[in-house]
Structure 1
Amino acid sequence: MNRLHKLLFIVLACSAQQALGGTIINGREVPPNSLPYMASVQHNGEHICGGFLIKKDIVLTAAHCDIKELTVVLGTNDLRKVKKTMRYHVKKCKHADFDNSSLANDIMTLKLSSPSQIEPIQLPNGKMKIKNNTPCRVAGWGSIMSGGPGVEKLRDVDVATIDRRICKQRWATLPAKTICAGGYPTNKGFCQGDSGGPLVCNTMAVGIVSYTGNTCDYPHLPNVYTDITKFLPWINDPKAKCKIA
Structure 2
Amino acid sequence: MTSLLLYSNCLMEHDIINGEKAPENSSHYMASVQNKKGQHVCGGFLITEDFVVSAAHCDEYNPTDVVLGNHNLKNDNHQKIKIKNKNIRENYQNIGQGNDIMLLEVIQLNERVQTIQLPPAEIHLEENQVCQVAGWGKTKTRGKSVDELRVVDVSVINQRVCEEQWPGLPANVICAGGYKTTKGFCQGDSGGPLLCDGLAVGVVSFNYKENCSYPNKPNIYTDISKYRQWIDGIVKSRKYEE
User: SS of 1:49's equivalent?
Assistant: strand
- Cα distance in 1, alignment partners of residues 160 and 138 from structure 2: 29
C-alpha offsets along residues 7-62 of structure 1, whole Å, 9 cap, x if unaligned? xxxxx989623112431000001121211100000002000100000111110000
Unpaired stretches in structure 2, ≥5 consecutive residues? 238-242
2:136 is equivalent to residue 144 of structure 1: no
Structure 1 runs of 4+ aligned residues shifted over 4 Å read 12-15
2:27 is equivalent to residue 31 of structure 1: no
Q: CA deviation at 1:232?
A: 0.2
Aligned AA (1:64): H
Q: What's the TM-score once normalised by structure 1's chain length? A: 0.88
C-alpha offsets along residues 197-244 of structure 1, whole Å, 9 cap, x if unaligned? 000000000000000012121231100000000000001112899xxx
Aligned AA (1:229): S
- Cα distance in 2, alignment partners of residues 201 and 69 from structure 1: 27
Q: Is the 8 A contact 1:122 1:205 kept in 2?
A: yes
Q: Residue 56 of structure 2 aligns with which residue?
A: 63
Q: Is the 8 A contact 1:180 1:225 kept in 2?
A: yes
Q: Residue 215 of structure 2 aligns with which residue?
A: 219
Selected match of 1:46 from 39, 43, 50: 39
1:13–1:79 CA distance, 2 compared to 1 (3 A): farther
Q: Residue 187 of structure 1 aligns with which residue?
A: 182
RMSD of the TM alignment (CA)? 2.0
Selected match of 1:231 from 202, 227, 230: 227
Q: CA deviation at 1:126?
A: 0.9
Per mean C-alpha deviation after superposition, the further-off stretch among 200-209 and 118-127 is 118-127
- Cα distance in 2, alignment partners of residues 114 and 187 from structure 1: 39
2:123 is equivalent to residue 161 of structure 1: no
Give the total of aligned pairs.
229
Q: What's the TM-score once normalised by structure 2's chain length? A: 0.89
Q: CA deviation at 1:133?
A: 1.1
C-alpha offsets along residues 140-179 of structure 1, whole Å, 9 cap, x if unaligned? 0021101211100000100010001101111112110000
- Cα distance in 1, alignment partners of residues 68 and 193 from structure 2: 15
